[in-house]
Structure 1
Amino acid sequence: MSTTLTTREVWKTWFAWVTAGEFLGFLAPALTGALTSSAPMLVFAGTAEGAILGAAQCLVLRRTFPSLSAPRWIGVTALAAGFAWAVTLLAVDHSQLLGTLPFPALLALVSVAGTGVLLSLGTGQWLVLRHHVAGAHLWVGANAVAWAAGLVVFTAFTTPLWQPGQPVALIALIGALGGLVMAATMAAITGSALTRLLNRS
């Protein structure tokens, strides 16, 4: 653990930077989604979201783990985000086909895909983090919980506000505000997980 930051300072710094990073990153798919329904464009925007988030996280992690590779962390975060967006959009694009499946098969497919999406980012980052802190495998579960909570908050915030026929600017604004709430939720939970890992070390 770095001697320049206490675990409390790590959490506060992580929360600020990661909330800002995810909020800025989420603007890419939010604005893209308001302008187009192109799946490849949305996956590209989601990958950019991951890269921005990873860069923001590195600003904190490099102070705690000076030898952590920023390109590797940013790279795995971007790839994981792109994967998550691709799986989600694939499900949306084939929603009618999925609706024809027997319920047990649909439930199994959704469970596998949803688990893969929730575990993707934490697993990718674990591949880097495991070289720097004991118990890094706990990061995978913590990220899954953080993103699940963030998505629930995002949905609860945006669903009542998004209505058919709204101007593109309003759609984008609601999505951006929802992204901010989601980012803060995710940052708070992952920040707590990071401080626990540091305390274990």
Structure 2
Amino acid sequence: MSQDRQTQRRAPLNPLLAVLFACGAVAVLFLAGLAAHRYGGQEPAAATATAAGAKPKATPSRKPPPGVGDAVRDGKFEFVVSRVDCSRSKVGLEHLERTAKGKYCVVSLSVRNIADGSQYFLGRAQKAFDAAGTEFGNDEIAGVYANHDTQTFLQKLDPGERVAGKLVFDVPEQVELTRLELHDSLLSGGVKVTVAT
């Protein structure tokens, strides 16, 4: 090799500069890996655009609780509440009537036997509740007056048979019922029906 070429050869890098250069390269690789992990392998701008254009996931809508007009079942019976009237202080006919201690909430409903055997519908098994959770029992004597034109709840229901009648709840004047709990027997779990009075 000639003398001129040897003089043109560059001096070796300063060791300090070499270490700084290596550290800078490692830092760049680390930041690139961090960005790739954060944006799922996409460029930051692309990831932002995807997030901006993404539609929020639809949350499944909760089915409202059964209410007036809905068919509900408990045990051997299917119930449909058609009306709740809490505007009365008396039930029955002119000379055969009963007066409430507070006010009467008269629940009109139908009951259908969905089982294979006959079964009685028990008015005393039915309950009503206000917003505070206070329970009110069915007034069976008032129910006899309210159902004067039918033997609705005094006979067994055969399989498939449906009858319509009234339940009567004697509640304080200021009470507003929020739900009913209907049962096929005194020991059944019951089914809840939301009502507005």
Question: What TM-score do you get using the length of structure 2 for normalisation?
Answer: 0.23
What's the TM-score once normalised by structure 1's chain length? 0.23
More helix by share: 1
Higher strand share: 2
